[in-house]
Amino acid sequence: MDYATFLQILDSTLRLATPLLLACLAGLYSERSGIFDIGLEGKMLVAAMATGAAAYLSGNVWVGTLVGIGASLIFAGIHGVASITFRGNQLISGVALNFVASGITVLIAQALFGQGGRTPPLDGPARFSELTLPGAEAAKAIPIIGPFYAEVLSGHTILVYVGLLCVPLTWWVLYRTRYGLRLRAVGENPASVDTAGISVVRLRYSAVAITGVLCGLAGAYMAAGLQAGFGREMTAGRGYIALAALIFAKWRPWYALWATLLFGFFQAFALRPDVITRTFGFDIPSPALDALPYILTVVVLAGFIGKATPPRAGGEPYVKER
């Protein structure tokens, strides 16, 4: 594999890892507060549909993004009411939202556009444009580092950079702010937080809201950045892969970045079977390559990558003692 091909794979890795990273960070906030959210997939899917539809109808990608975030927040609110207010089973609530999203997105898209559950293609101001970082063209002349900067780091849509910036921001919020301390505490021992006079319900709802925003950005990126419009089941299990990456990362922001980049690398490699043939000297069937990210998901969930201990109060509804 030559250096130019390697850079192309890294470029694809960053593009494909972005929705996984945003969804993984979304799950991190929720689960750190003690609310397990298996409904990341559904929130991403409904956000992608809402973004694709609103961006096409308005001709403005930012309008589409705001509508997508709003749709994701509605689903997040439903999950919050079911899990926090009514103390329902968090896993069942998340699965139910995934099923609802799978059906309602196709139904609404078909009712609006009549194209088999898809939205019309997005172009121009209805889609995110690529950004060229300062000095990218001049840097190409610098050996090794220059092409990496110009071809891998530069030339992405704004949400790619937002996703990367969310990693240090999440670390700072969780480990350097009072809110983050309380959020982590409520996921470990909500009774002690309540005893200190801090509202467990308010903290958990705030975490669920942040989850909705990040999933909305992930869905918006898929519909208006990674692709040009919404398609049926376009998330293709990325919400579940993000959950596996979260476990792989042991619920830590920086580990989440490397875990999602690893998953993105597998996806990028699956899109380039010719590279595998040239590198290893034999062909691998396309279905096997497509299955690589999901195989890694099973490996992670089976516990082969070390033991991951979730927040102790995760998945348990809090009942205030009287």
| β-strand partners of 156 | 131
Instruction: Note whether residue 253 is domain-resident.
Output: no
Q: What is the pTM of this model?
A: 0.94
What is the average per-residue pLDDT within 20-25? 97
What's the distance, CA 311 to chain centroid? Answer: 20
Domain membership of residue 213 as a residue range: 3-234
pLDDT-based confidence at 306, cuts 50/70/90? low
C-alpha to C-alpha distances, 239 to 7, 19, 26, 133, nearest whole angstrom: 26, 9, 10, 30
CA distance 216 to 235: 12
Assess if residue 252 is contained within a domain: no
Encode pLDDT of 118-132 as tens digits. 999 999 999 999 999
| pLDDT at residue number 35 | 95
Percent of the chain's residues with pLDDT above 90: 69
**pLDDT value of residue 208:** 97
Residues whose CB is less than 8 angstroms from the CB of residue 219 and which lie 6 or more positions away in sequence, other chains included: 19, 43, 44, 45, 46, 47, 48, 49, 50, 51, 68, 71, 72, 235
313, part of any domain: no
Q: Tell me whether residue 31 is in a domain.
A: yes
User: Residue 286's pLDDT is what?
Assistant: 63
Total structural domains in the chain? 1
pLDDT at residue 139 greater than cutoff 90: no
- Inside any domain, residue 111: yes
Signed CA dihedral, 86, 88, 90, 93: sign only: negative
In a domain, 122, yes or no: yes
